[in-house]
Structure 1
């Protein structure tokens, strides 16, 4: 008797829902992500790049953080949200399915908004340190790249990445949750795994620049491929090694630290 080994593949949206519903749902999420990119890029163009929060108060920062998170994360989380709203939590009404999907995404983004509070505190601290001593930016950059690289290569990254790539078992368990706010809770729970998977990638925006649109786009591509490409775990390891290399180069290459270099200062 031959033994057939079946490789686990990342979740594919569309298995549990009609093609027309899939097209409509994907189109709406794509529009939301595109609008978020437009808002983020427009604001970045007006602000430039630099250390700290660049004068942003917390409410404005959180609004931009939410837009940035939606732009970077929605393409990779869309398959999970659509499968939940249109498949596992199936309803006869198209409106009900749309509401479930929207509530899932709301819970997901709520978790990332909470992360934005921590990010704001970290940027305030790093900005103060650079204001006091511009040379401190080099070592903050080294720490950020090294932390991101080590986490990318560590075990917790792969626990969270495995969930994000193959969440079906967890989603089936969520189906037993009771109202109220079941879909919001499910989105928040999945968002926690996503934070565990992606926070280290977001940390490198401290040295590269929080409003660096090119860096955001590059990280968004890495996040998408890690979760949905069959070689995603290998990509995560390669990215980790690359970040460690950048940590070694950062003290000697100022161009790697635009987010930690005050205007007109050469470190």
Structure 2
């Protein structure tokens, strides 16, 4: 009996049996690491110049979004690197290594666009909270408590679990992306995965309102937490522990000003 094999079309991005050569895999990893390192250098340099102040620190929206984009690249790319490399394996059919690098960059661009859109929300929240603190310094205590409580409750909620599960095991969704039309597919894949990542981590970013949006220690701590949540085998349990810790911070915030460096009135 003759065996009939189903043909595999050339535009299928995850066809079986296609492996990315070790050198090309190293290039994909190096590209992501390089972007993350440059983003950290830019973010740390700017944070040292600006210090920690409430609100938007006088930044106009375009400048804020540039810095926000750098922050998100620094904080998020280490945890999204395995997904980006998995997608790079799926596009190994391309004959040109430069094309693979370009498509991986397009994936990362889509991912960062999702976080830049959330940056608009973050800017609005910072503008409002900064204005409230300027009017009434005591308001910072309750804003900080509310931000920590929101982060804690979301960490313990069902939507966090759904989005975290996607970020930890995205292969099923990556296979679904194979049905996308080739035109701008990589950008759309990155954007879609980025939207899940925003759903997973947005409340942690809200915690930067009391901690300070340019607080290097807070950014590094959250980046490590996000990395472990997504890649450590006990990540879901860690997310719940972090949620309980944030609720503890919410209870302490009205009485401990040192927990709220990002909500201390400006001395200018």
TM over 0.5: yes
Residue number in structure 1 paired with 2:170 = 167
1:111 maps onto 2:114 in alignment: yes
1:91 aligns with 2:101: no
Q: Look up the match of 2:29.
A: 26
**Contact conserved, 2:20 with 2:92, CA < 8 A, in 1?**
no
Please tell me whether Structure 1 or Structure 2 has the larger radius of gyration of its CA atoms. Answer: 2
Q: Give runs of aligned pairs for residues 130-145 of structure 1, distance below 5 A.
A: 130-145=133-148
| C-alpha displacement of 1:69 | 0.3
Determine the structure 2 residue equivalent to 1:124: 127
Q: CA deviation at 1:16?
A: 4.2
Q: Distance in 2 between matches of 1:196 and 1:89?
A: 29
Task: Say which of 47, 50, 59 aligns to 1:47.
Answer: 50
Corresponding residue number in structure 1 for 2:233: 230
Deviation of the 1:179 alpha carbon:
2.6
Q: Helix, strand or coil: the match of 2:179?
A: coil
1:1-267 equivalence runs, <5 A: 16-87=19-90, 90-264=93-267
Cα separation, partners in 2 of 1:90 and 1:145, compared to 1, 3 Å: farther
Unmatched tracts of structure 1, length 5 or more: 1-14
Separation in 2, partners of 1:90, 1:186: 17
Q: Secondary structure at the match of 2:94?
A: coil
**Compared CA separation, residues 90 and 193, structure 1 to 2 (3 A):** farther
**Deviations 1:37-74 (Å, cap 9, x if unpaired)?**
01001001011101100111111100000000000000
SS where residue 175 of structure 1 aligns? helix
Q: Deviations over 1:88-124 (max 9, x none)?
A: 5642321221121111111110111110011000000
Q: Distance in 2 between matches of 1:218 and 1:263?
A: 24
Aligned counterparts of 1:153 and 1:80: Cα–Cα separation in 2: 24
Contact 1:148–1:200 (8 Å) recurs in 2: yes
Gaps of 5+ in 2: 1-17
Q: What's the TM-score once normalised by structure 2's chain length?
A: 0.91
